[in-house]
Amino acid sequence: MKRTRITVIGAGNVGATTAHRLAEGQLGDVVLVDVVEGMPQGKALDLVQAAPVVHHDCSVVGANDYEATASSDIIVMTAGLARKPGMSRDDLQDANARIVAACIQRACKVSRESTVLMVTNPLDVMCEVARRVSGFPRERIVGMAGVLDTARLRAFLAAELNVSTESVSALVLGGHGDNMVPLPRYTTVSGIPVTELLPQQRIDAIVERTAQGGGEIVKLLKTGSAYYAPAAGVYEMVESILRDRKKILPCSVYLQGEFGLSDVWVGVPCRLGRAGMEGVFEFKLTAGEQARLAKSAGDVKAQMEKLPGDLGAA
Ligand code: TXD
């Protein structure tokens, strides 16, 4: 029987932490790929040496090319550059689009049946790069951002109300970052909308803090950005796909008419199972929510239009 194989491209903070979680969660054998020679191999060896202590039987190997990634079930894409001083958002988009295109082309060429899980920023636009170069159907490309954004909102609300994070469920739509559209009326504590539990002013402040995304963490760390919570978000999505759990999770997906939007990547709730993105969970938005989602989608589309036309194909 073929063993489950997960490729993680980029062995930096998010990639290595993701590999760690995937192996310890026994989700499959992991191939960690990075351009830096020796680095993915060294981190893989370190992870393997933890196996006897933490009890898992997954293999973890490091590589600088894609040979060992062949026949992967999932490709998690975390490679990319962080914004450097003097670099505009558009410069970063251009640089990461080239990295994502090159990596996804090579990885998808040897794993034609895989599902791509995009993590690299700018998230929604990088999903489009993966779509163009892989030629995969939309069911087999999803972006991770919504799980992280909702986790942040849930964590803040649980602390505010002094309840378990498990009792809080939240819904965030839209593009990643400043563009997210939190839906407080669907954000509940054991089924009770937070709008019944907290004054609007407090909800607004918590939503605003969530919308700052990882900015608060970047300021504290000074070098680098969040990776524990992002890796946890990736883990939840990979687990739902590989174990066919059919969880409803907010993911960046290529909309085809759902929520009145088409040909654009936006975060909406979807069912994740063995076939990948098995369906968008559509529901009726208020006029205000719809307008905010459309604005968020419009911003992503404007960025998608700036992508170079010569990204290549797998
Ligand atoms: O919610 C989300 N989607 C995000 C996204 C949450 C957190 C981080 N988010 C984005 O993930 C972040 O903006 C970056 O675009 C990626 C990776 O973040 P990370 O913090 O892991 O960055 P690192 O530590 O700099 O790691 C990037 C690695 C590094 O080891 C490089 O050598 C490698 O990517 N890299 C490559 N690997 C393979 N192939 C190529 N071409 C390549 N270029 C760089």
243 contacts 273 by C-beta, under 8 angstroms: no
- pLDDT recorded at residue 313: 67
- pLDDT recorded at residue 108: 98
- pLDDT recorded at residue 314: 61
CA 283 / ligand 1 centre spacing (Å): 34
| CA–CA distance, 239 with 245 (Å, rounded to integer) | 8
| CA–CA distance, 142 with 236 (Å, rounded to integer) | 13
Q: Which protein residue's CA is at the shortest distance from atom 23 of ligand 1?
A: 12
- pLDDT recorded at residue 8: 99
Residue 58, phi then psi, degrees to nearest 5:
-85, 140
* Complete domains list, the chain, with CATH: 5-143 (3.40.50.720), 146-304 (3.90.110.10)
- pLDDT recorded at residue 27: 98
CA 243 / ligand 1 centre spacing (Å): 26
| CA–CA distance, 36 with 11 (Å, rounded to integer) | 9
Compute CA distances 73 → 27, 77, 242, 263, whole Å: 11, 13, 8, 26
DSSP the chain: -PPPEEEEE--SHHHHHHHHHHHHTT--EEEEE-SSTTHHHHHHHHHHHHHHHHT----EEEESSSGGGTT-SEEEE---PPPPTT--HHHHHHHHHHHHHHHHHHHHHH-TT-EEEE-SSSHHHHHHHHHHHH---GGGEEE-SHHHHHHHHHHHHHHHHT--GGGEE--EEESSGGGEEE-GGG-EETTEEGGGTS-HHHHHHHHHHHHTTTHHHHHHHSSS---HHHHHHHHHHHHHHHTT--EEEEEEEEEESGGG-EEEEEEEEEEEETTEEEEE---PPPHHHHHHHHHHHHHHHHHHTTS-S-----
Q: Which protein residue's CA is at the shortest distance from atom 15 of ligand 1?
A: 120
Pocket test for ligand 1, best of 8, 13, 14 (most atoms within 8 A of CB): 14
Ligand 1 in contact with 63 (CB < 6 A)?
no
Give me the half-sphere count of Cα atoms (radius 13 Å) on the Cβ side of residue 16.
Answer: 16
Pocket test for ligand 1, best of 83, 91, 124, 225 (most atoms within 8 A of CB): 225
- pLDDT recorded at residue 288: 94
| DSSP bridge partners of 97 | none
| CA–CA distance, 69 with 44 (Å, rounded to integer) | 14
Which residues, including other chains, have CB under 8 Å from residue 162's CB and lie 6 or more apart? none
Question: What is the pLDDT tens value at each position of the chain, 314 positions in all?
Answer: 889 999 999 999 999 999 999 999 999 999 999 999 999 999 999 999 999 999 999 999 999 999 999 999 999 999 999 877 777 778 899 999 999 999 999 999 999 999 999 999 999 999 999 999 999 999 999 999 999 999 999 999 999 999 999 999 999 999 887 778 999 899 999 999 999 999 999 999 999 999 888 889 988 998 888 999 999 999 999 999 999 999 999 999 999 999 999 999 999 999 999 999 999 999 999 999 999 999 999 999 999 999 988 887 66
Measured from the Cα of 224, ligand 1's closest atom is: 20
Measured from the Cα of 126, ligand 1's closest atom is: 15
Residue 277, phi then psi, degrees to nearest 5:
-85, 100
CA 14 / ligand 1 centre spacing (Å): 7
- pLDDT recorded at residue 100: 98
- pLDDT recorded at residue 83: 75
| CA–CA distance, 289 with 287 (Å, rounded to integer) | 6
Peptide bond into 122 cis (omega under 30): yes
Measured from the Cα of 15, ligand 1's closest atom is: 21
CA 75 / ligand 1 centre spacing (Å): 14
- pLDDT recorded at residue 162: 98
CA 248 / ligand 1 centre spacing (Å): 26
Ligand 1 in contact with 304 (CB < 6 A)?
no
Q: Which protein residue's CA is at the shortest distance from atom 11 of ligand 1?
A: 120
pTM: 0.97
Told to judge if 176 belongs to the known catalytic residues of this protein, a careful annotator would answer yes
